[in-house]
Amino acid sequence: MRPCLKISLAAILLLPPMLLQTVWGAGAPRPGVDWPQFRGVRASGVDDRHPAPTTWDMATRKGVLWKTPVPGLGHGSPVVWGDAVYVATAISGRKDADLKVGLYGNIDPVKDDTPHEWRVYALDKKTGAVRWQSTAHTGVPVIKRHTKATHANSTLATDGERIVAFFGSEGLHAFDMAGKPLWKKDLGVLDAGYYQVPEAQWSTGSSPILHDGVVVVQADVQKGSFLAAFDARDGRELWRQTRDDIPTWGTPTLHEVGGRAQLLVNGMRHVGAYDFRTGSVIWKLSGGGDIPVPTPVASDGIIYVTNAHGTMAPVYAIRETATGDISLKEGESANDAVVWSYPRGGGYMSTPLAYRGVLYVVTYNGILTAYDSRTGERKFTQRLADGTSAFTSSPVAADGKVYLASEDGRVFVLKAGPSFEPLATNDMTESTLATPALSEGMMIWRTQHHVLAVGGQPERSR
């Protein structure tokens, strides 16, 4: 039986390694070492256990530990367990897979009906050497993708016993840690295109999460949206909750309140929390942008949700103890459950970052706003990249620094705090849309053609 401890995530991140298993339970991820899903442990995007790099140079390889090419296209972030890094990719039958990044508004999908191969790769964390690769599926994609998307947008999830990959209409797949396929689940046709223009197919983007032997998938699509839980051992469906919402691309966040595990989800009609064990609704809030992408973030008793498209671009700070329908009435910015909110200023693609009392929200065109996370007071607003690049990667933080990557491959490093203090800008030399992983002082990035690690002293170059 797991001990019943009331302890904040920030405190857990500072515990010595020998106590982590006591707090998290057997087989649980070790903060500072494992980065098991999108944005790491509980989607915090934070690792304060190790020093973190400020500068590196891709041309001279200064500060670069390794750089490994990965074929195909994939925007799923790297995940880490122990001494291995895992990523997914989709390899087109075309030599030019046609990925278009930057600030533009074209909604047309890519026309590519060649056979694709969906793979999972395992890399050595110290050297970048490929340990194994495993094919999950081959065939012509059922649903087209956006010109900025891939057919492997979703980040993998792992618990140290298995690796779970979600490829939308190509299914939910599980592998053991050596790459052996364990099971696969056909979830049907999942069309997460623009709800106002159904022919604009964009592929899925929500990532699976894996907790306590259960896989959770959020599939908000054109028809038949749902949130569902599956047994990680065999893929057996445990429960399914129908969702009345439009297509979304956000990943659920697991958050515990009073010992009860909740699933936090983004949406336009239904931002909310569900019971992890049963799928029952705990609270609900309506009123969001009509293409919800960012993942909810929980920190120090408050849940932060943002999105931006259409008529709304809200930022919400919600008490973790909320229940029932907490939607704001017209003209309201707060109520018993909503601590503070803004109707405009939300982020479109990037998940927000809550770190050391500040909430960081970056917009699609690179406007970064910092809020006092408790009160909502705006601390600063600053444009990054001079408005010349889009921002899809989500910010992360380590060692008192905040990292934000633009799609054109510039990584902006800031001193964490209520004022804007830039420390460095690093050029990745390739398009960068995935969010990095943090592990034992290393930053592991996925660019358009490579997975690479920076920080510390180089082991060797590949």
Report pLDDT digits (tens) over 290-341.
Answer: 999 999 999 999 999 999 999 999 999 999 999 999 999 999 999 999 999 9
Residue 323's SS3 state is coil
H/E element, 111: none
Q: Is the pLDDT at 7 greater than 90, yes or no?
A: no
Q: Is the pLDDT at 184 greater than 90, yes or no?
A: yes
Residue 331's SS3 state is coil
| Structural domain includes residue 257 | yes
In which band, very low, low, confident or very high, does the pLDDT at 22 lie, cut at 50, 70 and 90? very low
Q: Determine the Cα–Cα distance for residues 206 and 340; give it in Å rounded to an integer.
A: 27
Of 97, 93, 135, nearest to 114 (Cα)? 93
Alpha helices in 79-118 (DSSP H): none
Give the domain extent around 226: 32-346
In which band, very low, low, confident or very high, does the pLDDT at 211 lie, cut at 50, 70 and 90? very high
Q: Determine the Cα–Cα distance for residues 78 and 452; give it in Å rounded to an integer.
A: 10
H/E element, 202: none
pLDDT average, residue stretch 411-423? 98
| Structural domain includes residue 42 | yes
| Structural domain includes residue 414 | no
How far is C-alpha 75 from the chain's CA centre?
10
Q: Determine the Cα–Cα distance for residues 245 and 14; give it in Å rounded to an integer.
A: 38
Q: Which residues of 112-124 are buried (b: 16+ CB within 10 A; e: fewer)?
A: beeebbbbbbbbe
Report pLDDT digits (tens) over 337-381.
Answer: 999 999 999 999 999 999 999 999 999 999 999 999 999 999 999
pTM: 0.93
Q: How many domains are there within the chain?
A: 1
Which pLDDT value is given to residue 95?
A: 87
Strand-pair category, 358-362 with 367-372? antiparallel
> What is the torsional sign of CA 277, 279, 281, 286?
positive
H/E element, 24: helix 17-24
- Classify 182 in phi/psi space as left (phi over 0), alpha (psi -120 to 50) or beta: alpha
- Write phi, then psi, for 20 (nearest 5 degrees): -65, -40
Q: Output the domain CATH number for residue 44.
A: 2.140.10.10
Residue 104's SS3 state is coil
Q: How many residues belong to the chain?
A: 462
| Structural domain includes residue 43 | yes
Of 302, 307, 419, 412, nearest to 371 (Cα)? 419
Q: Is the pLDDT at 29 greater than 60, yes or no?
A: yes
| Structural domain includes residue 361 | no
Whether 312 and 288 have beta carbons less than 8 Å apart is answered as: yes
Q: Determine the Cα–Cα distance for residues 35 and 211; give it in Å rounded to an integer.
A: 13
DSSP characters over 356-425: TTEEEEE-TTSEEEEEETTT--EEEEEESGGG-S---SPPEEETTEEEEE-TTSEEEEEE-SSS--EEEE
| Structural domain includes residue 221 | yes
Report pLDDT digits (tens) over 114-140.
Answer: 999 999 999 999 999 999 999 999 999
Which pLDDT value is given to residue 18?
A: 41
What are the angstrom distances between the C-alpha of 196 and each of 107, 245, 291, 405?
A: 11, 13, 10, 30
In which band, very low, low, confident or very high, does the pLDDT at 14 lie, cut at 50, 70 and 90? low
| Structural domain includes residue 236 | yes
Of 325, 232, 261, 240, nearest to 287 (Cα)? 325
| Structural domain includes residue 62 | yes
What six digits make up the tokens of 128? 């970048």
The mean predicted confidence, pLDDT, of the chain is 93
How much of the chain is in helix, strand and coil states, percent to nearest 5?
5, 40, 55
